[in-house]
Structure formats: structure tokens, C-alpha cells
């Protein structure tokens, strides 16, 4: 397994954001964490990224316990935060170079990342001067540049225009095909469908359904419903 949640619980000032969630995602899989606003998606990903401590339960990345083996777990990860803010006073290229140095990567990785996200014309602009969508492209470049074994993506298509969404979907699929495990949070079923083959559905901090995308489609077909209707019913 590359991602495991075991009875994860997290409360914020009396609000239960996660209530004992458990799931496992195999290495090389692409899975979606699908749920409405406030369901606990970002909270879950932040725990896996080592940015938030659960009140109880455990999270494992690449078989490393994120609490007990934080260095090993972090080295295995790429993380796209929900509201990613790069260093705003640095240029696009300088942001990528900075992270490349921290991760011990070669200069060619920076050029590759610029090319993969179509950032050539923006490479010398400061991140603070970019539009929100272009800043998201930089954040994706920063998350994927080291070709992580596990990629945590929180609403990855936010702010992106349609052509960029298409090229980014292609990029994530290629990364998955070459071995990266994808864990994608979204509230949009069609995004889950295009990027992943497994769904973990979360609502009010509880897993309400999990299975393969094909099983979800079969459920919809046998109930005579559209897949969106099944999802809406399960997430109520």
C-alpha cells in the first residue's frame, strides 16, 4: 500500500472534521477523495502531508508513518495544497530552482517542469504578479518536479482554463502511468472520473462509500440513475 488511513480523527474547537476514517490505496493506483464542501478532504490531505496532527489514528505514506517517520514520508511525497502560495517575490524559475535545491534535484528538472506546465513565457515573472490560474500552474510544477512516488492533489484543476485543465489531466495521467500514486481531492464527479479509477466518498468527516469507478457506474446503472444522482444521494 502507498497510502493508508487508519481510524483518523480530527477535531477543530469542538467541530469533528474527521470521524475515524480508514482507507487504503495501492501503489500505482489513482484514487479520488470525493465530497462536498466541508466534508474533510483538505483536512485529510494535510494530515498525509504532515502539516496537521490527527487527534487519533494513523496515516501512512509509502509505508512510513507520517507522525513517527516524517522525513521518510515527506521525501516520498508531492503535495499540491488547496490554496498554494509560492514565494511571491521570486520569479517562476527562481521558485522552481529554490525547491530543486532543497530536494537535491538537477537544473534540468527545472527546465522540464517549466516546459511541462507551459510556463516558458512566464519564467521570469514574479509569482506575485501572476494571475491565479498561472500561479496554480506554478504550484503544480512545484508539486510534481521531483516525480514523487505519491502525489497528493487538493482540487488540482482549480482556477485553470479549459485547455490548461486538459493538458494538466494528461500530465497527471502520464505521471500515474509511469508509477506515481495519485490521491486527488475534488467535489466534482467528472474530475474524479477523468483522473482516477477508485473513489473514496467522504461526507461530514465519514467515509460513506468506497469502491472502483466501475462499481459506482454499475450501481448507477442498476438503480436506473445517473452517476451524479447516485453520488449526490450517497453524500447527503
Residue 222's binding partner, choosing from Mg ion, ligand ATP, none, with beta-carbon cut-off 5 to 8 A by kind? Answer: none
Residue 37's binding partner, choosing from ligand ATP, Mg ion, none, with beta-carbon cut-off 5 to 8 A by kind? Answer: ligand ATP
Strands 150-154 and 77-80: parallel
32, HSE (Cβ side, Cα atoms, 13 Å): 26
Least Å distance, CB 43 to ligand ATP, is 3
Least Å distance, CB 80 to Mg ion, is 12
CA distance 10 to 51: 13
Nearer to ligand ATP, 13 or 222 (CB): 13
108, HSE (Cβ side, Cα atoms, 13 Å): 0
Give Dmax over CA atoms of the chain in angstroms. 54
Determine, following the binding rule CB under 5 A, whether residue 186 of this chain makes contact with Mg ion: no
Nearer to ligand ATP, 113 or 184 (CB): 184
Least Å distance, CB 164 to ligand ATP, is 21
Least Å distance, CB 83 to Mg ion, is 9
SS3 69: coil
Nearer to ligand ATP, 34 or 100 (CB): 34
Sheet hosting strand 77-80, strand order edge to edge: 77-80, 150-154, 181-186, 30-34, 198-203, 206-212
Which DSSP helix (H) or strand (E) runs through 174? helix 162-177
- Using CB under 6 A as the criterion, which residues of the chain lie in contact with ligand ATP when the complex forms? 12-13, 15, 17, 35, 37-43, 82, 187
H helices, E strands: number in the chain: 9, 10
Least Å distance, CB 45 to Mg ion, is 8
Among 4, 42, 95, 186, binds Mg ion (CB under 5 A): 42
**Which parts of this chain interact with Mg ion (CB under 5 A)?**
41-42, 82
Amino acid at each position: 500500500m502507498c497510502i493508508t488511513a487508519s481510524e483518523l480523527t480530527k477535531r477543530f474547537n469542538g467541530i469533528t472534521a474527521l470521524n475515524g476514517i480508514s482507507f487504503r490505496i495501492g501503489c500505482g493506483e489513482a484514487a479520488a477523495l470525493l465530497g462536498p464542501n466541508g466534508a474533510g478532504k483538505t483536512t485529510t490531505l494535510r494530515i498525509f502531508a504532515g502539516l496537521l496532527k490527527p487527534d487519533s489514528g494513523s496515516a501512512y505514506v509509502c509505508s512510513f508513518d507520517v507522525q513517527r517517520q516524517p522525513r521518510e514520508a515527506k521525501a516520498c511525497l508531492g503535495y499540491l495544497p488547496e490554496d498554494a502560495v509560492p514565494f511571491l517575490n521570486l520569479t517562476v524559475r527562481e521558485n522552481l530552482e529554490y525547491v530543486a535545491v532543497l530536494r537535491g534535484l538537477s537544473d534540468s528538472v527545472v527546465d522540464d517542469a517549466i516546459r511541462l506546465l507551459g510556463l516558458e513565457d512566464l519564467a521570469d515573472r514574479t509569482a506575485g504578479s501572476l494571475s491565479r490560474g498561472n500561479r496554480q500552474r506554478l504550484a503544480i510544477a512545484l508539486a510534481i518536479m521531483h516525480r514523487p512516488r505519491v502525489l497528493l492533489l487538493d482540487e488540482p484543476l482549480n482556477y485553470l482554463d479549459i485547455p490548461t485543465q486538459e493538458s494538466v489531466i494528461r500530465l497527471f495521467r502520464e505521471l500515474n502511468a509511469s508509477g506515481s500514486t495519485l490521491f486527488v481531492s475534488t467535489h466534482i464527479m467528472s474530475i474524479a472520473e477523468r483522473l482516477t479509477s477508485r473513489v473514496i466518498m467522504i461526507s461530514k468527516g465519514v467515509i460513506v462509500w468506497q469502491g472502483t469507478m466501475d462499481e459506482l457506474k454499475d450501481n448507477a446503472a442498476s438503480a436506473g440513475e445517473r452517476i451524479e444522482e447516485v453520488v449526490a444521494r450517497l453524500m447527503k
